[in-house]
């Protein structure tokens, strides 16, 4: 009999456990990856909720939230996850909690399970990572652990899904047995942070570990092996099942080496950024050709009318000039996913911990800072895992200096202007240098702030302890799925903004002179269209706006058109590319990117033959984007996470001023050395 046969209420199943214990994998197995990721009410912490797959014949909801080490929170992230276990504000109190426990690290992962049992929760313990335990020639008795904990214990193979049916059966058994039984509701969390309770818990866990783990010496059954294990005398003071994986130890001697580890880390980062250019190039060409064909077909179909121009220039070319860089963004997400799934990213956090400690941060800031290379918004949200408020605010402050994926289309275009297309390795080097500069500048600014704050504060910096997962072969299907999800999220998030701004810029550049008069004598139809577009832009609303800020742009070697694009980029950095395409009235000839580059090379100042885009002005523009905080969404999330407008307003002022000064120095320096 199922619970749903006797109760109309849809039961709620919560999945809890430490980070990297297989929680999300189990959630996907139960829900068929049909999850809905939403923010916890009143916060920006995300959790996933989904119904159980129909094949389990149990109507229930499953909720997955960030991992926790114990029921005593050390960060905002953990507090919200723990509150979810006691009573979710929307979904209510969970009927059953599934606790994922890494069998290869039983001594630490059982702690949260014991706390939940002591809190009178109805739980099912799921043992994961049993394959890692077997590599050490040890196994675990689920039956004996179940008798000790007095709850169901099920082994789960994370890769094949074996054991998931048994998990659902255990959950259903609890739901049926608890029907018509009064529930215990907690109005406050029990206290688990007393030293004597903590020591007693770990003493108990140590004894449980010795009782349920046994050495695998033959193909005997589990019962026979347990009997044989009771007769064994352990000579080594350190149990073998506590020793790290041998392959992991060997690799860490290289990857965590104080010298070679850093060298390898920077080589890996260089390969990543070079691949963004080299691998993506042919795919970008195909996308660009497709957009150009669609735009040309629209003009042919609708003619040189205002609505034809709106669709071909405002919509297709506006959005297309950003979509053409999507392959590069996908490759970035894919490679970062592979490094994370293999366990290498955690090593990167360890390597970077010592340098970060010199500027008042630690390895906890590494993941948010690295996330900033994708998008500043989730990166700032990720700082909730930093318990020290000062370190958290400092991390939030410098995250906008990380070169996010929205800047990638801008860098790709400007680097393509400077570097020949047949030298992708050189382009990769330039891009790597840009990312190194962004990291170095963030470190420098954090160091300055840390020294100033340290003089007026007695608070000590927090320590950094990180669990290093064993090296594992990445599961390619999961990495591809997550990369697709992240890229899709990027498009869905940026797409509407880009479309609205593209339409706004089209209006500003098309009106009020909709029918410009030009001398058509001896000119081809394409030349006439180009002249009309140029005349229309020169007398447009955008021109009036741009001419107001042109005195600020002139020292950087740029004109009002670039100034308007920079203003548009404040809504979303990637809009800069589509703005250029619209303002310079790009007329593509089958290759949108090359058409934009061609327009940039031909662009001159008003009533002058002086080029707008030169080596110095383009380099200065790149430097401006390295430092400038040009994203309204970043300001909004910074305000929400810090609780006031103080930090975001300081970020906006400091980074904009820094960007302008750095760009001015760059342009002046290039001109001084004769590279105008």
Range among 84-98, 341-355, 381-395 rated most confident: 84-98
Residue 94 has pLDDT above 70, yes or no: yes
- CA 71 vs. chain centroid, Å, equals 27
CA atoms within 13 A on the CB side of 279: 15
Other C-beta atoms closer than 10 Å to the C-beta of 8 total 6
pLDDT (0 to 100) of residue 522: 72
Whether the bond between 427 and the residue before it is cis, its omega within 30 degrees of 0, is no
Residue 551 has pLDDT above 50, yes or no: yes
The answer as to whether 380 is a domain residue is: no
Mean pLDDT across the stretch 7-26? 80
Q: Which of 16-20, 368-372, 488-492 has the lowest mean pLDDT?
A: 488-492
pLDDT band at 179 (very low <50, low <70, confident <90, very high): low
CB–CB of 126/26 below 8 Å? yes
The answer as to whether 594 is a domain residue is: no
CA distances from 530 to 272, 502, 527, 584, 599 (A): 40, 20, 5, 10, 11
The single residue listed with the structure tokens 């940039």 is: 600
Number of independent structural domains in the chain: 1
Mean pLDDT across the stretch 77-91? 75
For the segment 438-464, what is each residue's pLDDT rounded down to a tens digit?
A: 888 888 888 888 777 776 655 555 555
pLDDT band at 594 (very low <50, low <70, confident <90, very high): confident
pLDDT band at 541 (very low <50, low <70, confident <90, very high): confident
pLDDT (0 to 100) of residue 221: 52
Q: What does residue 257 show for φ and ψ, rounded to 5 degrees?
A: -65, 140
The answer as to whether 255 is a domain residue is: no
Q: Look at 525 and 420; give whichever has higher pLDDT.
A: 420
Residue 578 has pLDDT above 80, yes or no: no
Helix (H, G, I), strand (E, B) or coil at 213: strand
Range among 73-82, 221-230, 667-676 rated most confident: 667-676
pLDDT (0 to 100) of residue 489: 66
The answer as to whether 580 is a domain residue is: no
- Give bridge partners of residue 99 from the DSSP assignment: 16, 125
Ordered DSSP codes for 91-121: TBS-SEEEEEEEGGGHHHHHHHHHHHHHTT-
Q: Shortest CA distance to 189 belongs to which of 92, 77, 70, 91?
A: 70
CB–CB of 479/299 below 8 Å? no
Q: Shortest CA distance to 1 belongs to which of 52, 54, 57?
A: 57
CA distance 160 to 129: 12
Strand duo 61-64 + 138-140: pairing: unpaired
CA distance 317 to 288: 10
Output the average pLDDT for the chain: 76
The answer as to whether 491 is a domain residue is: no
pLDDT (0 to 100) of residue 238: 47
Other C-beta atoms closer than 10 Å to the C-beta of 489 total 15
Q: Look at 140 and 608; give whichever has higher pLDDT.
A: 140
Q: What is the CATH number of the domain that holds 128?
A: 3.40.50.300
CA distance 43 to 40: 6
Q: Looking at residue 604, what DSSP letter applies?
A: B
pLDDT band at 609 (very low <50, low <70, confident <90, very high): confident
Percent of the chain with pLDDT over 90: 7
Q: Shortest CA distance to 24 belongs to which of 11, 37, 42, 12?
A: 37
The single residue listed with the structure tokens 């969970």 is: 94
For the segment 34-47, what is each residue's pLDDT rounded down to a tens digit?
A: 554 444 444 445 67
Q: Is 53 left (phi over 0), alpha (psi -120 to 50) or beta?
A: beta
Mean pLDDT across the stretch 638-663? 87
pLDDT (0 to 100) of residue 108: 79
Alpha helix segments (H runs only) across 399-524: 408-418, 424-455, 476-510
pLDDT (0 to 100) of residue 125: 92
Q: Shortest CA distance to 339 belongs to which of 349, 352, 329?
A: 349
Residue 50 has pLDDT above 50, yes or no: yes
Residue 5 has pLDDT above 50, yes or no: no
The answer as to whether 348 is a domain residue is: no
Q: Please report how the helices 476-510 and 541-553 are oriented relative to each other, as an axis angle in degrees rounded to 10.
A: 110
pLDDT (0 to 100) of residue 665: 94
Q: Is 507 left (phi over 0), alpha (psi -120 to 50) or beta?
A: alpha
Percent of the chain with pLDDT over 70: 75
For the segment 158-168, what is each residue's pLDDT rounded down to a tens digit?
A: 777 888 899 99
Q: Which residues of 623-649 are buried (b: 16+ CB within 10 A; e: fewer)?
A: bbbbbbbbbebbbebbbebbeeeebbe
The answer as to whether 622 is a domain residue is: no
Mean pLDDT across the stretch 380-409? 79
* Cβ partners under 8 Å of residue 326, min gap 6: 287, 487, 491
What is the gyration radius of the CA atoms in the chain, in angstroms? 29
pLDDT (0 to 100) of residue 99: 92
Please enumerate, as own/partner, the contacts of 381-387 that have beta carbons within 8 Å and a separation of 24 or more.
381/44, 381/45, 381/46, 381/637, 381/641, 383/641, 384/44, 384/45, 384/75, 384/76, 384/77, 384/641, 385/66, 385/75, 385/77, 385/78, 386/75, 387/74, 387/75, 387/462
For the segment 333-365, what is each residue's pLDDT rounded down to a tens digit?
A: 787 778 777 878 777 777 776 777 777 776 677
Q: Look at 316 and 231; give whichever has higher pLDDT.
A: 316
Other C-beta atoms closer than 10 Å to the C-beta of 187 total 6
pLDDT (0 to 100) of residue 546: 77
Mean pLDDT across the stretch 494-500? 68
The answer as to whether 446 is a domain residue is: no
Q: What does residue 529 show for φ and ψ, rounded to 5 degrees?
A: -60, -40
Mean pLDDT across the stretch 173-183? 65
End-to-end Cα, the chain, rounded Å: 81
Mean pLDDT across the stretch 596-612? 82
Mean pLDDT across the stretch 471-488? 76
The single residue listed with the structure tokens 């958290």 is: 392
CA distance 367 to 365: 6
* Cβ partners under 8 Å of residue 50, min gap 6: 27, 30, 31, 32, 34, 35, 36, 61, 62
Domain ranges, residue 140: 3-240
CA distance 501 to 102: 49
**Cα-Cα-Cα-Cα dihedral sign, residues 207, 466, 83, 197:** positive
Other C-beta atoms closer than 10 Å to the C-beta of 522 total 6
- Give bridge partners of residue 128 from the DSSP assignment: 102
The single residue listed with the structure tokens 């920006």 is: 44
Q: In what order do the strands lie in the sheet with 61-64?
A: 36-39, 46-51, 61-64, 12-17, 96-102, 123-128, 152-155
Prediction pTM value: 0.57
**Cα-Cα-Cα-Cα dihedral sign, residues 587, 589, 592, 594:** negative
Residue 180 has pLDDT above 50, yes or no: no
Greatest pairwise CA separation for the chain in angstroms: 104
For the segment 189-247, what is each residue's pLDDT rounded down to a tens digit?
A: 444 444 455 556 667 777 888 888 887 754 445 555 455 455 444 434 445 444 556 77
The C-alpha angle 172, 177, 179, rounded to 5 degrees, equals 100
Alpha helix segments (H runs only) across 303-343: 306-309, 318-323, 326-342
């Amino acid at each position: 009999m199922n619970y749903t046969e006797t109760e109309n209420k849809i039961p709620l199943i919560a999945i809890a456990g430490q980070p990297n214990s297989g929680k999300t994998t189990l959630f996907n197995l139960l829900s068929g990856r049909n999850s809905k990721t939403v923010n916890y009410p009143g916060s920006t912490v995300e959790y996933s909720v989904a119904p159980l797959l129909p094949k389990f014949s149990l109507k229930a909801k499953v909720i997955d939230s960030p991992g926790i080490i114990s029921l005593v929170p050390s960060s905002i992230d953990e507090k919200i996850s723990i509150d979810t276990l006691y009573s979710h504000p929307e979904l209510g109190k969970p009927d059953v909690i599934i606790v994922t426990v890494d069998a290869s690290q039983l001594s630490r992962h059982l702690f949260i399970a014991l706390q939940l049992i002591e809190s009178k929760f109805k739980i099912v313990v799921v043992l994961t990572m049993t394959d890692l335990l077997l590599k050490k020639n040890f196994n675990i008795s689920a039956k004996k652990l179940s008798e000790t904990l007095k709850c169901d214990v099920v082994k789960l193979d994370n890769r094949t899904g074996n054991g998931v049916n048994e998990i659902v059966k255990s959950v259903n058994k609890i739901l049926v047995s608890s029907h018509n039984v009064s529930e215990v509701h907690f109005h406050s969390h029990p206290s688990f942070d007393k030293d004597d309770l903590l020591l007693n818990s770990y003493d108990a866990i140590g004894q449980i570990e010795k009782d349920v783990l046994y050495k695998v010496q033959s193909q005997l059954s589990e019962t026979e092996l347990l009997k044989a294990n009771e007769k064994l005398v352990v000579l080594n003071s350190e149990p073998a099942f506590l020793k790290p994986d041998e392959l992991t130890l060997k690799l860490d001697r290289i990857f965590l080496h104080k010298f070679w580890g850093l060298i390898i880390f920077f080589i890996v980062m260089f390969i990543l950024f070079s691949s963004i250019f080299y691998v993506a190039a042919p795919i970008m060409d195909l996308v660009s050709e497709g957009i150009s064909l669609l735009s040309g077909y629209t003009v042919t179909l609708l003619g040189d009318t205002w609505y034809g121009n709106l669709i071909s220039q405002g919509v297709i070319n506006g959005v297309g000039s950003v979509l053409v860089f999507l392959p590069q963004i996908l490759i970035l997400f894919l490679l970062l996913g592979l490094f994370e799934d293999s366990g290498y990213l955690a090593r990167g956090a360890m390597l970077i911990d010592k340098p970060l400690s010199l500027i008042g941060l630690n390895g906890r800031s590494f993941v948010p800072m690295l996330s900033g290379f994708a998008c500043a918004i989730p990166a700032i949200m990720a700082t909730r895992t930093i318990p020290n408020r000062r370190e958290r605010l400092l991390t939030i402050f410098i995250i906008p200096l990380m070169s996010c994926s929205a800047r990638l289309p801008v860098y790709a275009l400007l680097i393509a202007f400077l570097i020949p297309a047949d030298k992708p390795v050189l382009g990769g080097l330039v891009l790597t240098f840009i990312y190194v500069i962004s990291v170095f500048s963030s470190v420098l600014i954090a160091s300055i702030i840390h020294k100033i704050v340290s003089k007026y504060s007695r608070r000590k910096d927090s320590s950094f302890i990180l669990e290093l997962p064993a090296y594992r072969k990445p599961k390619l299907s999961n990495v591809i799925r997550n990369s697709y999800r992240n890229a899709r999220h990027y498009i869905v998030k940026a797409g509407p903004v880009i479309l609205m701004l593209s339409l706004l810029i089209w209006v500003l550049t098309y009106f009020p002179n909709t029918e410009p008069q030009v001398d058509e004598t001896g000119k081809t139809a394409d030349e006439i269209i180009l002249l009309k577009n140029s005349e229309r832009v020169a007398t447009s609303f955008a021109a009036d706006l741009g001419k107001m800020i042109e005195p600020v742009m002139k020292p950087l070697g740029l004109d009002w058109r670039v100034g308007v694009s920079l203003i548009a980029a404040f809504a979303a950095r990637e809009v800069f590319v589509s703005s250029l395409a619209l303002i310079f009235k790009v007329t593509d000839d089958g290759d949108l990117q090359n058409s934009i580059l061609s327009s940039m090379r031909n662009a001159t100042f008003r009533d002058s033959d002086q080029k707008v885009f030169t080596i110095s002005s383009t380099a200065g523009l790149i430097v401006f984007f390295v430092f400038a905080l040009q994203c309204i969404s970043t300001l909004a999330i910074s305000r929400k996470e810090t609780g006031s407008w103080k930090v975001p307003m300081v970020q906006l002022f400091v980074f904009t001023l820094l960007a302008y000064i750095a760009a001015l120095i760059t342009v002046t320096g290039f001109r001084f050395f004769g590279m105008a």
